[in-house]
């Protein structure tokens, strides 16, 4: 009879330890899920900031309407309409080739 009690107590202790391990693992899993959600949010924020940065950089840069390359402000020719609004931008060389 003593052996049955000892075995029963041992089984009970083992099941309690297993239950504690499962609860501990579930807590870690919830913590990791929280971290993943936080990282996803940070990634989305970084993507948004990068797209805004690219947009603002693209707005500052002009592209040649003939060759499509980035224009250096010192070497560009700006064509304006009769109201004075900028319509086209060219490299000096590209602009000269238009009239040859």
Tens of pLDDT, residues 37-79: 999 999 999 999 998 887 776 656 678 888 888 887 778 888 8
For residue 49, report the phi and psi dihedrals to the nearest 5 degrees. -65, -40
pLDDT band at 88, cuts 50/70/90? confident
Percent of the chain with pLDDT over 90: 30
For residue 85, report the phi and psi dihedrals to the nearest 5 degrees. -85, 140
Cβ-based neighbours of 52, under 8 Å, separated by 6 or more: none
Global pTM value? 0.46
- What's the pLDDT at 49? 93
| Cα–Cα distances in angstroms (integers) from residue 62 to residues 8, 34, 52, in the given order | 81, 44, 17
The overall average pLDDT reported for the chain is 82
């Amino acid at each position: 009879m003593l052996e049955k009690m000892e075995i029963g107590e041992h089984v009970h202790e083992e099941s309690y330890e297993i239950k504690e391990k499962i609860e501990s693992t579930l807590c870690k899993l919830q913590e990791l899920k929280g971290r993943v959600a936080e990282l996803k949010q940070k990634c989305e924020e970084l993507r948004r900031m990068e797209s805004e940065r690219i947009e603002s950089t693209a707005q500052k840069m002009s592209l040649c309407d003939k060759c499509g390359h980035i224009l250096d402000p010192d070497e560009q020719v700006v064509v304006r309409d009769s109201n004075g609004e900028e319509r086209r931008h060219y490299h000096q060389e590209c602009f000269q080739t238009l009239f040859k």
